[in-house]
Structure 1
Amino acid sequence: MKLGLQLGYWSAQPPQGVGDLVAAAEDAGFDAIFTAEAWGSDAFTPLAWWGRETSKVRLGTSIVQMSGRTPASIAMHALTLDHLSGGRVVLGMGVSGPQVVEGWYGVPFSKPLARTREVVSIIRQVLAREAPVTNDGPHHPLPYNGPGAVGLGKPLKPIVHPLRADLPIWLGAEGPKNVAQTAEIADGWIPIFYTPKSAGMYQPWLDEGFARPGARRTRADFEIAATCHLQVVENAEQKQRVIEAMKPFVSLYMGGMGAKEQNFHTQLFTRMGYGDLAARVQQRFLAGDRAGAAALVPDELVDDMHIIGTPAEVKERAATWEASGVTTLMLSLRSPEEIRRAADLLA
């Protein structure tokens, strides 16, 4: 199991000291660094900025929101950064949710599975550079001849010869159909809230995708990159403080990251067996009682979702994540010292 540093997306201001974290991750032997985006900072720019001082770690997006750019634009970002980094890019993408897609990007959210398939197909055509890129699908037709078109669209190949036609594409996916499609068409999967206890739920979905005709990968060469917070503590009291500090983040996704009518994270927690809890957390969160929502989150759920414990416990817990099928563990760590300690423990 490889280690990745999850840098995430920015909050109100750019974070400080990230360059030191990235340098420590490379020096400590981490396999990759990852950046994310929501509706503020983008994923590509920080990756290029902080990645310029690296020479070994892979540079991954976890994740790029597909609706924020056309497929060809995403491919341009990826092939450009892949050249600049000497072939170290991992392109992680996801569909986001209707509140962001329709409220922030101003485009329809409908049929996310079909849209994902078209996006991946177009990007692979760009990277292969075997012929002018075309797409007959309804979501991203190329060339475009719909309303407002002047009729002069021309299929094109990228001017730049991509460094790698097989640049890895990983997809963020939560539901059964999305996970199965990810196993069919992608090189890796970026689950959210994957835990060793929930790993069994996903296996039939993955197997369905691997079994489809023309599936790109098998389980043997398919990446599963799960994110968790890792923190070493000295005793049970310290562990409890960390767990309490993590509860607001769990309740945010369980109840606040999406509309009441359609929240993929709430649905995922329901599939994990926390349906009643998710409903109550969502009710309090949407009513403005964020503290009350966080207080409902049980200790054992936070403990299952993250790796928090003494050095011996951290090593034991990390082994259970690896045994569950995780190939890359993306860790949120706050200092170079934490990075070095994690690397030493999990080497």
Structure 2
Amino acid sequence: MKFGLQLGYWGAQPPVNVGELLTVAEEVGFDAVFAAESWGSDAFTPLAWWGSRTERVRLGTSVAQLSARTPTAAAMAALTLDHLSGGRAILGLGVSGPQVVEGWYGQPFAQPLKRTREYVDIVRKVLAREAPVTNEGPHYPLPYVSESGLGKPLKSIVHPLRADLPIWLGAEGPRNVAQTAEIADGWLAIYYAPRLADTYNAWLDEGFARPTARRTRETFEIAASAQVVITDNPAAEIERMRWISALYIGGMGAPELNFHAQVYRRMGYGAEVDEISRLFQAGRKAEAAAVVPDELITDTAIFGDEAHVRKRLREWEDAGVTMMLISVSDVDQLRRIAPLVER
């Protein structure tokens, strides 16, 4: 199992110590660095800027949101980054949710699975550069049919460095995970709980078994995002995560369609999710955080001394995870975590 560094997306201001983190991550053997986007900083620019000071780590988006750019624009960004980095780009894509897609990007959210399949197919056509890119739609028709009728199928001016540039997908539900195993090269898993590995593997196996599957389990990557902190005070980390968990369960999505909340329902926390959501949406955020049980947090995060962290990392690896994608704020944690997985 490998380590990836998750830079995430920015808060009110850019983070201040990313350059140092990247230098140390590459030095201690991290395999990849990822950047995310929501409705502020984008995912590609930080990788191009900060990634220019690296030589070995792969540079991935986790995730670039489908509705933020057309499929051809995403392919352009990915192939450009791939050339600049010498073939180290990973294009991680995800659908986000209706509040962001329709409220921020002004695009329809309907049929996310079909849109994802069509989007990925177009990106692969651009990267293959075998013919001018066409697509019948219905979501991304190329060329676009207008009254002028002047749209023309085109091939990328730039020859992509790799036709097989890896595409990973962020997915949470069973149908989405199965489709990811079918059409993608990797799964960006959020809130991955090793005790549900049999469930996840059943979803993945459904996708691998399809006639059009690109990969087998042996060549497919599973990158699980998780909070991993070596500490003598795990209770303090759990308390910190209570607030973050309450935000994602109660506030990161519409009350009637919150994919993060659905993940925790599948883990068996339905009653807790209902209460957290009710309190958070009523503006009672502190009370919502207080309702979050310790077990909900420790199912998907690792806090403890080095022996405990090593043991829990092995559980993730035994469950099939090929990369732990972790957020780390200081170089001391990077140096302490790196030796805990034998490579």
The answer to whether TM tops 0.5 is yes
SS at match of 2:227: strand
Q: How does 1:288-327 map to 2 (within 5 A)?
A: 288-327=283-322
Give the match's secondary structure for 2:250.
helix
Structure 1 residue 293: Cα displacement: 0.9
Matching residue of 2:142: 142
CA distance in 2, matches of 1:79, 1:225: 22
Matches within 5 A, 1:71-220: 71-146=71-146, 149-220=147-218
Aligned ranges for residues 249-268 of structure 1 at < 5 Å?
249-268=244-263
Q: Distance in 2 between matches of 1:290 and 1:300?
A: 19
2:42 maps to a residue whose letter is D
Shift of 1:127: 0.3
Corresponding residue of 1:248: 243
Q: State the distance in 2 between where 1:107 and 1:133 align.
A: 22
Q: Does 1:49 align with 2:49?
A: yes
TM, length-normalised to structure 2:
0.98
Moved segments of 4+, more than 6 Å: none
Give the aligned residue type for 2:65. Q
Query: How much does 1:201 deviate?
Result: 1.9
Q: Does residue 265 of structure 2 align to residue 270 of structure 1?
A: yes
Shift of residue 176 of structure 1?
Answer: 1.1
Identical residues among aligned pairs (%): 63
Contact 2:64 2:93 in 1 (8 A): yes
Structure 2 unaligned spans of 5+: none
Contact 2:269 2:296 in 1 (8 A): no
How far did 1:337 drift? Answer: 1.1
Structure 2 Cα separation of the partners of residues 271 and 301 of structure 1: 12
User: What amino acid is aligned across from residue 322 of structure 1 in structure 2?
Assistant: E
Give 1:300 shift.
1.5
TM-score, normalised to structure 1, is 0.97
1:332 and 2:330 aligned: no
CA contact (8 A) 2:2 2:341 kept: no
Q: Distance in 2 between matches of 1:53 and 1:204?
A: 40
Q: What's 2:21 paired with?
A: 21
Which consecutive unaligned segments of at least 5 residues does structure 1 have? none
**CA-CA distance at 1:36 after TM superposition:** 0.3
Q: Residue in 1 aligned with 2:228?
A: 230
